[in-house]
Chains A and B, each alone.
Chain A
Amino acid sequence: MVSTHQSGGGVALATAKPFIAGGLVLAIGLMAIDGQGIRRWLSSARPQTAPGCEKIVQSNAQLSREQLAKLLVVPERDPKENVRKIVAEPYCSLPQLQVRSGVVSEREAYPMAWDPTVQLVILYENDEYAGYRFRFQ
């Protein structure tokens, strides 16, 4: 009984072997032809979740060079809405933090359109723009 079951499994494995080998050869071939393309496809298929994000607000949000140039001249303590007019909705919000006593800091992140591994983190306090920093992943 046991030997019959084992031989059945052996037959199935023998049938599958050519398919496994064929799949492997195809994968190796594809990687050899266009490894970069596969890597790109894999990275685009996987959702890009930034470390530290608490909530994804706008998954397509990206900051262009023009938007960045405009943001860099916004003075600190300007109302948050002035900054939002330039940068629109963020990719994600980071968890709220209390750095100063009695003041809640809101942080929002924007990936750069030309390099999504670089993010701009903007900090607001009392609905006022406090500043920004670049974050490299």
Chain B
Amino acid sequence: MAFYSRIPIRLRWLSRNFSLGLLLIGLTSCGGTTPAVPRQIVLKQSWEIESGDRVAGQLVTGSLGDISVRLEGIRLRAPFSGQVELASKGFHCIYFSTPEVPAYLFRYCGVRQPQLGPVQAGEAIGRSGNIHFATLRRQPDGAWAIVEPSDRVLERSLNQPSSGFRF
């Protein structure tokens, strides 16, 4: 206490304001990152072993319906302008949806550091060593079904867009 009283008043004022500033920075930075609510969907297909399960203590990273691709020196990219959401199930899975392709949802698993929220076509949406890609089509009852994908959307997810990005 005696030591504290010996500190000049101006220095005390500065230290108090510095602490307050740090607290404010902390609070505002927390306010900027809203917690992402994972998207939950009803999938038509249901299998005994699915992505995210464990077998003999080992993690299942892909499942039936996934196309697995090893990414070498590239980042996963948004195939169109759209929205990235965390998936509620699976091994580091995200869903990508876009107004450009109604009735479809694209699932990528094995994605690290995903870029959640609205993204532009060609923007990096995550890193991965191996991605597991699935194409889901909306059913009349509102559920989703995994369908056999063409290579077009996957190709767009792996290529850096050129200036004349085609649809």
B57 within 8 A of A: no
Tell me the chain A residues, 88-126 only, with Cβ under 8 Å from chain B: 94-95, 97-103, 105, 107, 121-123
Contact B103 A130 (CB under 8 A): yes
Kindly provide the distance from the CB of A79 to the nearest chain B CB, expressed in whole angstroms. 14
Contact B138 A99 (CB under 8 A): no
- A: contact size bracket: 20 to 34
Complexed CA–CA distance, A58 and B123 (Å) = 32
A127 within 8 A of B: no
B6 within 8 A of A: no
Complexed CA–CA distance, A100 and B101 (Å) = 12
Contact A97 B167 (CB under 8 A): yes
Complexed CA–CA distance, A41 and B123 (Å) = 35
Complexed CA–CA distance, A105 and B104 (Å) = 11
Kindly provide the distance from the CB of A48 to the nearest chain B CB, expressed in whole angstroms. 17
Kindly provide the distance from the CB of A17 to the nearest chain B CB, expressed in whole angstroms. 42
Contact B99 A135 (CB under 8 A): yes
* Chain B interface (Cβ < 8 Å from any Cβ of A): 98-104, 135, 137-140, 147-150, 152-153, 166-167
19 pairs from A and B in contact (CB 8 Å cutoff)? A76-B103, A76-B140, A94-B100, A95-B166, A99-B101, A99-B152, A99-B153, A100-B150, A102-B148, A107-B100, A121-B99, A123-B101, A130-B102, A131-B103, A133-B99, A133-B102, A133-B103, A134-B99, A135-B100
